[in-house]
């Protein structure tokens, strides 16, 4: 599917975004292995939600949808009937995690410790994503996992085993790997210690402890002892990774004022706000509060004169999913922006170094790929053109925002990828952009 769009003179309004994708997936999974019944509301409504729900239901978890929930104060809510630790049932079919790396990696942690055999696969993109990073540490906990083609890529076959605790120094910073191991550790014999090279998102740590799990954080180390969880109602905060598209649009558009309400501002995810502020963004937070152990605020952003920045090291995991849209911000910043130490971008829903550089170059940006990131020389005008999503939701949305800023008409092929995390993206774009000329072609 293709979308075509062109620029808009004025961008303004108050909006909300879907619930955080990472928190939604953890809320479904951890409540599935907990004791009790939980309401999970304001979830991320994209295809990734459908993927994790499908897998958990195939494992025997009853998850019932209802509307207008007073407990989570949301229109769409899910009641998750926890089956307790070791309570999953042997699936009668191959589990299908769709496009979701988080769903696959977290569920494999659970399947490795569940007393039955199972198989899990994913879509065209997911079967190209590396699983050796979870297979290796899980195997040293005693897991029995094999990849169909012997190459550490899905499909995976798992024979559940009684696992042993692990002391593991992670070679890369990854919240998916950490969370996979934490879920396995809950089901293991003995203590586990997982040491991160730098801090990645800590939603699993927060949620597991709030549910009574024996979890402690000591700097970069996470310690997990086998323990039962108690179900917990969760109202998921708005996804900062989805809000990032509007934050950048607000900064780079010359006539803008956007308010985005109820955004999760967990410090392990705050890279985009810290970076935009260092780039001189006219952006501030209001109404800061805490909901279900996660900090939340409203974000206000206005037209800004951005300056360049260098991004590297420990900052990278805190902004990893926002680097494609940050590249667009850099196109409108004064000076040269450099992103380094971000080779993990190559292993996301697409090779995001290649997809970002190719997409923005096709609209005339001065951007080049490096081995572990990209370099952008700001100030070159964008002009309309043809670009491709590479089947990646964040690339499709980055190119749509670029299209709003480019002179002329921009066409995005594969724009349906947006549905993975943000099906209402186009409606919000129409709300914000004055007289938007947006067309959808099959």
Contact call for residue 22 and ligand S3P (CB under 6 A): yes
Count the site residues for ligand S3P by CB under 6 A.
Answer: 12
**Looking at beta carbons only, is 112 or 200 nearer to ligand S3P?**
200
Interface mask toward ligand S3P for 331-350; x: CB under 6 A: -------------x------
For residue 140, what are its two tokens? 């040293």
Q: How far is the CB of 82 from ligand S3P (least distance, A)?
A: 21
Among 200, 256, 304, 389, binds ligand S3P (CB under 6 A): 200
Q: Which member of 202, 298, 321, 392 is catalytic?
A: 321
Among 174, 308, 356, 428, binds ligand S3P (CB under 6 A): 174
Q: How far is the CB of 179 from ligand S3P (least distance, A)?
A: 6
Among 103, 175, 400, 401, binds ligand S3P (CB under 6 A): 175
**Looking at beta carbons only, is 421 or 428 nearer to ligand S3P?**
421
> Per CB under 6 A, which of residues 293..322 are in contact with ligand S3P?
320-321
Catalytic residue check, 321: yes
* Segment near ligand S3P (CB under 6 A); pick from 72-80, 136-144, 174-182, 185-193: 174-182
Contact call for residue 102 and ligand S3P (CB under 6 A): yes
Contact call for residue 179 and ligand S3P (CB under 6 A): yes
Contact call for residue 99 and ligand S3P (CB under 6 A): no
User: Roughly what angle, to the nearest 10 degrees, separates helices 271-278 and 240-252?
Assistant: 20
**Looking at beta carbons only, is 52 or 329 nearer to ligand S3P?**
52
Contact call for residue 114 and ligand S3P (CB under 6 A): no
**Looking at beta carbons only, is 247 or 365 nearer to ligand S3P?**
247
The pair phi, psi for residue 225, each rounded to 5°, is -110, 150
Chain residues in the site for ligand S3P (CB under 6 A)? 22, 102, 174-177, 179, 200-201, 320-321, 344
Kindly list the catalytic residues: 321
């Amino acid at each position: 599917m293709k979308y075509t769009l062109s620029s808009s003179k004025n961008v303004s309004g108050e909006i909300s975004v879907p619930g955080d994708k990472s928190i939604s997936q953890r809320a479904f999974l951890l409540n599935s292995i907990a004791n009790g019944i939980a309401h999970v509301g304001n979830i991320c409504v994209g295809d990734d939600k459908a993927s994790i729900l499908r897998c958990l239901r195939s494992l025997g978890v009853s998850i019932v949808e209802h509307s207008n929930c007073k407990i989570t104060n949301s229109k769409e809510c899910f009641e998750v009937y926890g089956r307790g630790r070791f309570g999953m049932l042997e699936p009668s079919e191959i589990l299908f995690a769709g496009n979701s790396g988080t769903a696959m990696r977290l569920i494999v942690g659970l399947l490795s410790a569940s007393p039955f055999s199972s198989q899990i696969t994913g879509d065209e993109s997911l079967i190209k994503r590396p699983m050796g990073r979870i297979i290796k540490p899980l195997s040293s906990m005693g897991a029995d996992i094999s990849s169909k083609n012997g190459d550490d890529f899905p499909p995976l076959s798992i024979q559940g085993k009684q696992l042993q605790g692990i002391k593991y120094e992670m070679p890369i910073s990854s919240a998916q790997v950490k969370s996979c191991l934490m879920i396995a550790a809950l089901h293991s014999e003995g203590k586990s210690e997982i040491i991160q090279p730098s801090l990645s998102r800590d939603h699993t740590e927060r949620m597991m402890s709030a549910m009574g799990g024996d979890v402690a954080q000591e700097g970069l180390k996470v310690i997990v002892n086998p323990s039962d969880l108690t179900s917990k109602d969760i109202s998921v905060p708005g996804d900062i990774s989805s809000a990032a598209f509007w934050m950048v649009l607000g900064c780079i558009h010359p006539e803008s004022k956007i308010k985005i309400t109820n955004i999760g501002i967990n410090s392990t995810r705050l890279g985009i706000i810290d970076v935009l502020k260092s780039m001189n963004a006219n952006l501030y937070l209001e109404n800061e509060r805490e909901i279900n152990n996660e900090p939340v605020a409203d974000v206000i952003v206005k037209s800004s004169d951005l300056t360049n920045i260098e991004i590297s090291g420990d900052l990278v995991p805190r902004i990893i999913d926002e680097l494609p849209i940050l590249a667009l911000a850099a196109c409108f910043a004064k000076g040269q922006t450099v992103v380094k130490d971000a080779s993990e971008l190559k292993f996301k829903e697409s090779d995001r170094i290649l997809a970002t550089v190719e997409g923005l170059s096709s609209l005339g940006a001065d951007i080049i790929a490096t081995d572990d990131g990209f370099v952008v020389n700001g100030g070159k005008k964008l002009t309309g053109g043809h670009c491709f999503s590479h089947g990646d939701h964040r690339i499709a949305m980055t190119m749509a925002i670029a299209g709003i800023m480019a002179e002329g008409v921009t066409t995005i092929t594969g724009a349906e990828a947006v549905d993975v995390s943000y099906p209402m993206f186009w409606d919000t774009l129409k709300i914000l952009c004055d007289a938007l000329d947006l067309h959808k072609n099959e």
